[in-house]
Structure 1
Amino acid sequence: MSKASCAGLPKSVDPYKLAEQNSTLEGEIPLSALSRFREAVLEVGEAAVCSVKLSFYMDGERRRIVSGELEAPATLECQRCMGHMQTTLTSRFTLGLVTSDEQAQRLPKDLEPFLTDDFSADLWSMVEDELLLVLPPFPLHERAECPADEDLEALEPKGAPEQGDAPAKENPFSVLADLKKTKH
């Protein structure tokens, strides 16, 4: 097995050759170089990087596979208080290397396709796609850490009656039920 480790993860590789050699790549990608990711988050620090580990191999069916792990810091907007929220995005993924839509359709359901050229794959784009997939749709601080938590507590009524103690509310459609009874 071949193992390459460098400070920077190469942008483009021959994934088929790496899979045949059962190779692992480890490195970092500067988050400032990932434009779609930068647009999806509030801030990207100048020195912020995504740490990546990718393993290329062939499975029992001779399909070329890349499995990976990544970790990156992100500043998101809390949807409760609308303030900045620091988080760490992590992902573990397994992708089947394909060169056409037909090959992608033949992959088993547990493998997502990663469309490549015959001899090159853009690893940075793949990592950026995975980062975008793990962004939370509604980021929220932990309730106890959220600045809006105090405001929410002030809005909650104190000593509200229990469900069983609450007076029954009249059904607004009961008039319709009464009309139906009188017609028959």
Structure 2
Amino acid sequence: MSKASSAELPKTVDPYRLAEHNSDLEGEIPVRALSRFGDAVLGYDEGAVCHVKLQFYMDSERRRIVSGELEAQVKLECQRCMGAMVSLLTSRFVLGLVTSDEQAQRLPKDLEPFLTDDFSADLWSMVEDELLLVLPPYPLHERDECPAKEDLEAYEPDNASAEPEKRPGDNPFSVLAGLKNTKH
């Protein structure tokens, strides 16, 4: 098994050759170089990087596979207080290397396709896609750490689990029933 490690992950590689040689790659990608991802987050510290570990191999069916782990610390906007919050994004993934949509459709359901050229793959784009997939849809501070904590407590009833008392006239359709009875 060959292993390559560098400070910066190579942008493009021959993934098929790496898979045939059972290769590992480890490195970093500057977050500022991932423009689509940068547009999706509130910000990141100067010099922020995404740490990446990749394993290229062939499975028992001779499919070329890349599996990996990534980690990046970014700033997201809390949807409760609308303030900045630091979040550590992590992902583990397993992708099947394919060169066409037909090959992608033949992959087993547990493998996501990674569309490549015959001899090159853009690793930075792959990592950027994985980062975008792990972004939380509604980032929130921990409840006790959120600056809006006092506002939340002001709107919560003392006994949140108690059911509100129902009265016979509380039915929103009772007005319609009354109108129906008065019509001749």
Q: TM-score, normalised by structure 1?
A: 0.92
The one-letter code of the counterpart of 1:7 is A
Return closer, same or farther for 1:154/1:110 CA change in 2, 3 Å cut-off.
same
In structure 2, runs of 5+ residues without a counterpart are none
Q: Distance in 2 between matches of 1:161 and 1:45?
A: 41
Residue in 1 aligned with 2:64?
A: 64
Q: Which runs of structure 2 are paired with 1:128-167 in the superposition (5 Å)?
A: 128-158=128-158, 162-163=162-163, 166-167=165-166
Residue in 2 aligned with 1:36?
A: 36
Residue in 2 aligned with 1:83?
A: 83
Residue in 1 aligned with 2:13?
A: 13
Residue in 2 aligned with 1:103?
A: 103
Q: Distance in 1 between matches of 2:142 and 2:121?
A: 38
Cα RMSD after superposing both structures: 2.0
**Equivalenced residues, count:** 182
Q: TM-score, normalised by structure 2?
A: 0.92
Q: Distance in 1 between matches of 2:127 and 2:161?
A: 52
Q: Distance in 2 between matches of 1:159 and 1:106?
A: 54
Instruction: Confirm or deny that 1:46 pairs with 2:46.
Output: yes
Q: Is this contact kept in 2: 1:32–1:45, CA < 8 A? A: no
Q: Distance in 2 between matches of 1:182 and 1:150?
A: 49
The one-letter code of the counterpart of 2:52 is V
In structure 1, runs of 5+ residues without a counterpart are none
C-alpha offsets along residues 77-119 of structure 1, whole Å, 9 cap, x if unaligned?
A: 0000000000100000000000011111111111110000000
